[in-house]
Amino acid sequence: MAGSRRPGASRAPGRGHARWATFIILAAHPDDEALGAPGLLARLRRSAHRVVVQLFTAGEQSHPGSPTHSTKELR
């Protein structure tokens, strides 16, 4: 059927969601959310939605043995 939506399909951010909706962004490493979805993050914030970013690591293993990034700096 033309124009129909499958059950449970979500709408585009900012359309059809309550003004107070919370969106949770899951990211494996620091900066992943900013590098992977900057437009989505900006659109959600402009639409007055609450955005929560959950990082799963602090990036401490991103440069093991690096001469320019010490373990202390990465933590």
Number of helical H runs and strand E runs in the chain: 3, 2
The tokens describing 25, both together, are 């962004």
Distance of alpha carbon 71 from alpha carbon 60, whole angstroms: 7
**pLDDT tens track of the chain, all 75 residues?**
444 444 444 455 556 655 678 999 999 888 888 899 899 989 998 988 899 999 998 777 776 777 776 767 766
Measured over the CA atoms of residue 10, residue 33, residue 27 and residue 24, the dihedral's sign is negative
- Residue 23's pLDDT is what? 92
- Residue 14's pLDDT is what? 53
CA angle 16, 54, 72 (to 5 degrees): 155
Model-level pTM?
Answer: 0.54
Radius of gyration of the chain (CA): 18
